[in-house]
């Protein structure tokens, strides 16, 4: 890694003693003991914004349809090529195995073909004429700042892609947890589509760094992904700025699956295991709880799911995790064994702490430690699912479904009750298209300035 | 469960455990390189005691396997039974979570003589059920005497914890009351009433101790000690207590007051009370156990260390265990337990406490430990799993501070 970091385009850090300890540790783990990311003085932030503005103005002049094609082609080329030289470093940065990075790379880029991008814009009524109108009305964001969480790769690409399609200048603050993917993406785009890379910059700062507010302060929109408390904390900081930008927060969410009795097949078990194994279950679209319709063959299906997770482990091993995280997994396994002794858990399938499947004795809720651990909850009536989840329902993100044998009306009733932001066949949950309204935020409209209120009569 | 309780087997086991616990070392006497050195024992004597631990531990496992229903089921789920377990460290460690979820006791309810509740802030508390306090009291008093009052018969004890009468289900309040009864002078008293520190009275007592040159022993939870230190600061009540005075702290902060590291607490105690850091004894225990760990600095400061070159120079974060309490670290991948001092990754701590005859002797807790010298050091708590959904971390949160 030595030397690679300093050669990347427009990647900076703010002063004040450089990275926080976690980011520093990450970079050191990547083999770069001498951090070579140039410092951007706070006083230079506005000048950097102006450079990005100039590049964004040029990029915005490219017709929308052409922008879509340029971006989709570049992303498709990247998908086909795979992580390439970045594979090993990304694997360490993301905490995934090398095979895990290959799969993560593919699922990050795959959903953004030309048609999918067109569809995403069209769903919000955004065509060239509309964008021109928004521009004239001053509603298009020209400057966007993103703060990402680093638990999975896609949000880095998706947040930037939205901004590129709208023609904005963008800063992105990568996460300490996974600092490399954004840099890698920008470096690749600098070679393939330099005019896109030119309106984008990466910047690290410790979160308490007051200089970071100089970046937020002149943005039109700030998007923040993180745990709920972090998002709210940054929202408050941003709101206190003299000219507060719009704020779009994405908090902690979880995903699940619902599998009907008729759908409890080897194929759905394998597909679900794939959803679970991707990103080592760290994403908000990673299913953790599976509601499975009760039937005589439920345990057989659970065993197949366990077998499928074992297969995933063999061909796409879970990434290395630290001793404390492993201890937490062990603790969960042993607590579950107590529940087995008490009759609350019906069965456990496990391979050390590499993965685990537990089947509850009755419909209810059970926590999950992630890292490829799944709770299968039996239900007799679909109405039991919402009852079992209670207040947790408000944080539901995605729902993988395999509802063979159900009436469409029953399916619709369930979805209306659970209100996930994304519904997909099991095995495809993680391949979210650009049109996906994460946390119920419309992907593009949430970035636009609100329309002026109609004058009162 | 036998019809006539306590039955002969229970009485036999109790007698064997009481007899053994009463005679083996109640803690380290040295910061040595090996456990034998730490206990100040010749290797042969140490090995014999360890062998007796093994025998009693297996005996106790067979007893609890049969009588504690959830434990028997848990052990069977692990495929470990008295027939298959041959070594003490293979005795299954029951997660303490079990004590929150169900009654974990090897005796009929009618035979209960005490219940101690954990101070968990969410959900039902964990409960330690006891049918006899004989082992509990023996383990408690031997450990305390060894580490906190190895040099005196009685002391003026100042309790910074609610009185036992106010919190009858608190194992800490019970312990402190026992200590006050056994080692306290007539003037010993509690300075917390209704959960509030009685600072003016405590201040007068401290001033009197200084004037009369009588050393005192202050026993309290970490957060009560912090409250006292704050009161000292706010009222100009800092004093320099007579030599031989000491402080016993336990219980952590539990989010009740400003958090102080153990090192910082020691520093402030020295600053405001004149008690040197070596004379501050920390206790690590939990309601689910009958026995406790202590730091060794006070004992070494008072009685010296038999080793000329201690293996552990700083004993303030290093835990001394009585011979009947074996700390272990559970391997995350295999679930197997190893001695806490054995080299390896930090991991979940288990405690094999032969003083716990009434419930389960070997328990798994959520604390993390790492080997240090011939013992272990604490590495915080295991992060609790909940419905986090995405694996987010709170890296931005410091912005709020």
Partner A, chain B 124-163, Cβ-Cβ below 8 Å: none
Task: Considering only the beta carbons, identify the residue of B70, B386, B397 that sits closest to A341.
Answer: B70
Task: Considering only the beta carbons, identify the residue of B330, B368, B398 that sits closest to A324.
Answer: B368
Q: Per-residue pLDDT tens for B322-349?
A: 999 999 999 999 999 999 999 999 999 9
pLDDT, mean of residues B113-133: 86
If you ran DSSP here, which 8-state letter would residue A39 be given? B
Long-range contacts, stretch B196-200, CB < 8 angstroms, 24+ apart = B197/B160, B197/B224, B197/B227, B197/B228, B197/B231, B199/B228, B199/B231, B199/B235, B199/B237
**Interface test mutation site (partner A, options B102, B330, B396, B401, max chain A beta carbons within 10 A):** B396
Rounded CA gap, B260 and B166, in Å? 27
Contact B197, B261 (CB under 8 A): no
Q: How far apart are the first and last CA of chain B?
A: 56
Give me the pLDDT at residue B249, please. Answer: 94
Confidence of residue B161 (pLDDT cuts 50, 70, 90): confident
Rounded CA gap, B206 and B215, in Å? 10
Partner A, chain B 372-391, Cβ-Cβ below 8 Å: 379, 382-391
Q: How far is B109 from chain A (nearest CA, A)?
A: 19
Q: Which residue of chain A comes nearest to B74, CA vs CA?
A: A341
**Interface test mutation site (partner A, options B81, B288, B390, max chain A beta carbons within 10 A):** B390
Partner A, chain B 299-328, Cβ-Cβ below 8 Å: none
Q: How many alpha carbons fall within 13 Å on the CB side of residue A324? A: 10
Q: Per-residue pLDDT tens for A304-351?
A: 999 999 999 999 999 999 999 999 999 999 999 999 999 999 999 999
Asked whether residue B397 carries a pLDDT value surpassing 80, the answer given is: no
Give me the pLDDT at residue A35, please. Answer: 46
Identify the burial level of B243 via C-beta atoms within 10 angstroms of its C-beta, where 0-12 means exposed, 13-18 middle and 19 or more buried: exposed
Q: How far apart are the first and last CA of chain A?
A: 64
Q: Which residues of B touch A281 (CB under 8 A)?
A: 391
Partner A, chain B 342-361, Cβ-Cβ below 8 Å: 345-348
pLDDT, mean of residues B260-267: 88
Pair of tokens at residue B68? 């504690």
Q: Which residues of B touch A327 (CB under 8 A)?
A: 330, 332, 346-348, 368, 382
Sign of CA dihedral A285, A286, A287, A288: negative
Rounded CA gap, A52 and A49, in Å? 5
Give me the pLDDT at residue A142, please. Answer: 97
pLDDT, mean of residues B134-144: 97
The per-residue pLDDT string of chain A (457 residues; one tens digit each, 9 = 90 and over) reads: 233 344 455 666 665 434 455 555 555 555 554 445 667 777 788 888 999 999 999 999 999 999 999 999 999 999 999 999 889 889 988 999 999 999 999 999 999 999 999 999 999 999 999 999 999 999 999 999 999 999 999 999 999 999 999 999 999 998 878 888 998 899 899 999 999 999 999 887 777 677 788 889 999 999 999 999 989 999 999 999 999 999 999 999 999 999 999 999 999 999 999 999 999 999 999 999 999 999 999 999 999 999 999 999 999 999 999 999 999 999 999 999 999 999 999 999 999 999 999 999 999 999 999 999 999 999 999 999 999 999 999 999 999 999 999 999 999 999 999 999 999 999 999 999 999 999 999 999 999 999 887 776 6
Contact A151 B388 (CB under 8 A): no
Closest CA to A182 of A90, A252, A91: A90
Closest CA to A447 of A134, A148, A128: A134
Give me the pLDDT at residue A42, please. Answer: 76
What distances in angstroms separate CA B191 from CA A13, A199, A240, B160, B197, one per listed residue? 53, 66, 45, 5, 6
Edge-to-edge, what's the strand order for the sheet holding A422-425? A345-351, A355-360, A373-379, A287-293, A254-259, A396-402, A422-425
Contact A255, A278 (CB under 8 A): no
**B186 Cβ under 8 Å from any chain A Cβ:** no
Contact B365, A126 (CB under 8 A): no
Give me the pLDDT at residue B305, please. Answer: 85
Q: Which residues of B touch A20 (CB under 8 A)?
A: 395
Instruction: Name the 3-class secondary structure at B172.
Output: helix
| Beta strand segments in A101-181, E | 143-147, 169-173
Q: How far is B295 from chain A (nearest CA, A)?
A: 24
Partner A, chain B 90-109, Cβ-Cβ below 8 Å: 93-95, 97-98, 101-102
Contact A226 B335 (CB under 8 A): no
CA angle B67, B73, B74 (to 5 degrees): 110
Give me the pLDDT at residue B253, please. Answer: 52
Edge-to-edge, what's the strand order for the sheet holding B280-284? B189-190, B156-160, B216-221, B246-250, B280-284, B293-295, B319-320
Partner B, chain A 370-389, Cβ-Cβ below 8 Å: 370
Pair of tokens at residue A72? 């989709």
Give me the pLDDT at residue B321, please. Answer: 97
Q: B19 Cβ partners below 8 Å, 6+ apart? A: none
Rounded CA gap, A189 and A30, in Å? 22
Give me the pLDDT at residue A29, please. Answer: 53
Q: How far is B387 from chain A (nearest CA, A)?
A: 5
Rounded CA gap, A204 and A27, in Å? 12
Task: Considering only the beta carbons, identify the residue of B74, B332, B398 that sits closest to A208.
Answer: B398
Task: Considering only the beta carbons, identify the residue of A207, A253, A288 that sits closest to B395.
Answer: A207
Give me the pLDDT at residue A406, please. Answer: 98
Give me the pLDDT at residue B308, please. Answer: 67
Query: What percent of chain B is predicted at pLDDT more than 70?
Result: 91
Contact B393 A149 (CB under 8 A): yes
Contact A208, B399 (CB under 8 A): yes
Closest CA to B119 of B250, B249, B245: B250
Q: Which residue of chain B comes nearest to A175, CA vs CA?
A: B395
Give the count of Cβ contacts less than 8 A between chain A and B.
171
Contact B333 A352 (CB under 8 A): yes
> Which residues, in sequence order, are bridge partners of residue B378?
B369
Q: Which residues of A touch B77 (CB under 8 A)?
A: 337, 340-341, 348
Q: Which residues of A touch B97 (CB under 8 A)?
A: 335, 338
Q: How many alpha carbons fall within 13 Å on the CB side of residue B342? A: 13
Give me the pLDDT at residue A177, please. Answer: 82
Instruction: Name the 3-class secondary structure at A68.
Output: helix
Q: Which residues of A touch B333 (CB under 8 A)?
A: 326, 330, 352-353
Rounded CA gap, A60 and A290, in Å? 44
Closest CA to A306 of A369, A368, A375: A375
- pTM of the predicted structure, to 2 decimals: 0.91
Q: Which residues of A touch B98 (CB under 8 A)?
A: 338, 341-342
Contact A158, A187 (CB under 8 A): no
Can you tell me the ipTM of this complex?
Answer: 0.91
Contact B120, B100 (CB under 8 A): yes
Rounded CA gap, A49 and A220, in Å? 12
Contact B95 A288 (CB under 8 A): no
Which run of H or of E encompasses B114?
strand B114-117
Partner A, chain B 63-82, Cβ-Cβ below 8 Å: 70-71, 73-74, 76-78
Task: Considering only the beta carbons, identify the residue of B73, B97, B387 that sits closest to A254.
Answer: B387
Contact A18, A24 (CB under 8 A): yes
| Buried/exposed B249-262: b ≥16 CB within 10 Å, e otherwise | bbbbbeeeeeebeb
Rounded CA gap, B72 and B64, in Å? 7
Contact A8, A186 (CB under 8 A): yes
> Which residues, in sequence order, are bridge partners of residue B329?
B338, B349
Contact A369 B346 (CB under 8 A): no
Sign of CA dihedral B128, B133, B135, B136: positive
Asked whether residue B388 carries a pLDDT value surpassing 60, the answer given is: no
Q: How many alpha carbons fall within 13 Å on the CB side of residue A122? A: 9
Rounded CA gap, A240 and A255, in Å? 33
Contact B396 A20 (CB under 8 A): no
Q: Which residues of A touch B384 (CB under 8 A)?
A: 328
Q: What are phi and psi of A337, to 5 degrees?
A: -65, -35
Contact A185, A84 (CB under 8 A): no
Q: Which residues of B touch A329 (CB under 8 A)?
A: 332
Contact A22 B395 (CB under 8 A): yes
Sign of CA dihedral B28, B31, B34, B36: negative
Edge-to-edge, what's the strand order for the sheet holding A221-225? A11-13, A200-204, A169-173, A143-147, A221-225, A246-250
Contact B330 A283 (CB under 8 A): no
Q: B247 Cβ partners below 8 Å, 6+ apart? A: B217, B218, B219, B220, B225, B269, B273, B275, B279, B280, B281
**Cα torsion through A409, A414, A420, A422, rounded to 10:** -40
> Which residues, in sequence order, are bridge partners of residue B248?
B219, B281
**Interface test mutation site (partner A, options B92, B102, B350, B389, max chain A beta carbons within 10 A):** B389
Q: How far is A318 from chain B (nearest CA, A)?
A: 13
Instruction: Name the 3-class secondary structure at A104.
Output: helix
């Amino acid at each position: 890694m030595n030397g690679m970091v300093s050669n990347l385009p427009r990647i900076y850090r703010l002063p004040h003693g450089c990275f926080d300890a976690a980011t520093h540790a990450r970079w050191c783990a990547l083999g770069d003991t001498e951090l070579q990311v140039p410092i951007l003085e706070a006083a230079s932030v506005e000048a950097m914004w102006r450079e990005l503005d100039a590049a964004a103005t040029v990029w915005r002049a490219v017709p929308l349809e052409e922008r879509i094609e340029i971006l989709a082609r570049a992303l498709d080329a990247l998908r086909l090529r795979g992580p390439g030289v970045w594979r090993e470093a990304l694997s360490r940065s993301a905490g995934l195995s090398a095979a895990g990075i290959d799969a993560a790379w593919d699922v990050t880029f795959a959903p953004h073909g030309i048609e999918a991008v067109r569809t995403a814009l069209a769903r919000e009524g955004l065509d060239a004429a509309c964008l021109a109108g928004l521009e004239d009305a001053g509603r298009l964001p020209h400057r966007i700042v993103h703060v990402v969480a680093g638990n999975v790769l896609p949000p880095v690409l998706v947040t930037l892609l939205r901004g590129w399609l709208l023609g904005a200048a963008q800063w992105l603050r990568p996460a300490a947890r996974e600092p490399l993917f954004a840099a890698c993406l920008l470096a690749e785009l600098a070679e393939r589509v330099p005019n896109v890379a030119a309106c984008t910059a990466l910047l690290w700062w410790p979160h308490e760094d007051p200089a970071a507010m100089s970046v937020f302060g002149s943005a039109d929109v700030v998007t923040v992904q993180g745990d709920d408390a972090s998002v709210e904390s940054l929202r408050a900081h941003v709101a206190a700025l003299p000219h507060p930008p719009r704020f779009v927060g994405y908090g902690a969410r979880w995903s699940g699956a619902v599998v009907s009795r008729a759908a409890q097949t080897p194929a759905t078990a394998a597909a679900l295991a794939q959803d679970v194994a991707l990103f080592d279950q760290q994403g908000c679209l990673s299913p953790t709880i599976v509601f499975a319709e009760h039937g005589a063959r439920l345990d057989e299906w659970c065993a197949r799911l366990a077998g499928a997770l074992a297969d995933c482990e063999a061909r796409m091993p879970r990434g290395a995790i630290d001793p404390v995280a492993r201890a937490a997994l062990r603790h969960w396994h042993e607590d579950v064994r107590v529940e087995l002794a008490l009759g609350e858990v019906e069965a456990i399938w496990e391979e050390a702490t590499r993965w685990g499947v537990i089947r509850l004795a009755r419909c209810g809720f059970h926590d999950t430690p992630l890292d490829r651990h799944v709770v299968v909850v039996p239900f007799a009536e679909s109405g039991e699912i919402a009852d079992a989840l209670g207040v947790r329902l408000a944080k539901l993100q995605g729902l993988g479904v395999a509802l063979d044998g159900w009436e469409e009306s029953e399916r619709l009733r369930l979805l209306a009750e659970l209100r996930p932001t994304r519904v997909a066949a099991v095995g495809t949950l993680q391949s979210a298209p650009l049109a996906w309204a994460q946390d119920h935020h419309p992907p593009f409209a949430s970035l636009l300035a609100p329309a002026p209120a109609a004058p009162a009569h | 469960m036998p019809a006539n309780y306590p039955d002969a087997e229970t009485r036999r086991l109790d007698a064997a455990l009481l007899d053994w616990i009463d005679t083996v070392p109640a803690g380290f006497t040295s910061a040595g390189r090996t456990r034998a050195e730490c206990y100040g024992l010749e290797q042969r004597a140490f090995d014999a005691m360890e062998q007796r631990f093994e025998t009693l531990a297996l005996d106790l496992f067979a007893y609890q396997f049969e009588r504690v229903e959830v434990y028997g089921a848990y052990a069977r789920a692990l495929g470990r039974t008295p027939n298959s377990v041959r070594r003490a460290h293979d005795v299954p460690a029951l997660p303490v979570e079990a004590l929150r979820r169900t009654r974990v006791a090897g005796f009929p309810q009618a035979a209960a003589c005490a219940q101690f509740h954990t101070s968990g802030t969410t959900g039902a508390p964990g409960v330690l059920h006891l049918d006899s306090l004989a082992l509990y009291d023996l383990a408690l008093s031997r450990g305390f005497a060894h580490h906190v009052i190895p040099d005196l018969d009685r002391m003026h004890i100042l309790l910074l914890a609610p009185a036992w009468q106010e919190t009858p289900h608190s194992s800490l309040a019970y312990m402190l009351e026992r200590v006050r009864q056994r080692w306290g002078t007539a003037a010993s008293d509690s300075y917390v009433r209704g959960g509030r520190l009685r600072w003016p009275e405590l201040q007068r007592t401290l001033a009197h101790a200084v004037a009369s040159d009588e050393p005192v022993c202050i026993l309290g939870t970490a957060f009560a000690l912090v409250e006292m230190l704050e009161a000292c600061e706010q009222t100009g009540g800092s004093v320099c207590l007579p030599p031989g005075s000491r402080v016993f702290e336990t219980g952590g902060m539990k989010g009740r007051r400003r958090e102080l590291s153990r090192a910082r607490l020691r520093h402030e105690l020295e600053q405001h009370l004149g008690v040197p850091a070596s004379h501050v004894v920390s206790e690590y225990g939990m309601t689910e156990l009958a026995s406790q760990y202590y730091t060794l600095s006070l004992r070494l400061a008072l009685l010296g260390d038999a080793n000329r070159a201690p293996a552990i120079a700083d004993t303030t974060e290093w835990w001394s265990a009585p011979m009947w309490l074996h700390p272990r670290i559970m391997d995350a991948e295999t679930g197997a337990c190893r001695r806490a001092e054995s080299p390896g990754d930090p991991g979940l701590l288990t405690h094999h406490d032969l003083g716990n005859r009434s419930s389960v002797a070997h328990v798994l807790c959520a604390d993390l430990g790492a080997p240090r010298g011939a013992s272990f050091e604490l590495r915080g708590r295991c992060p609790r799993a909940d419905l986090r959904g995405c694996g987010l971390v709170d890296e931005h949160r410091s912005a709020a501070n």
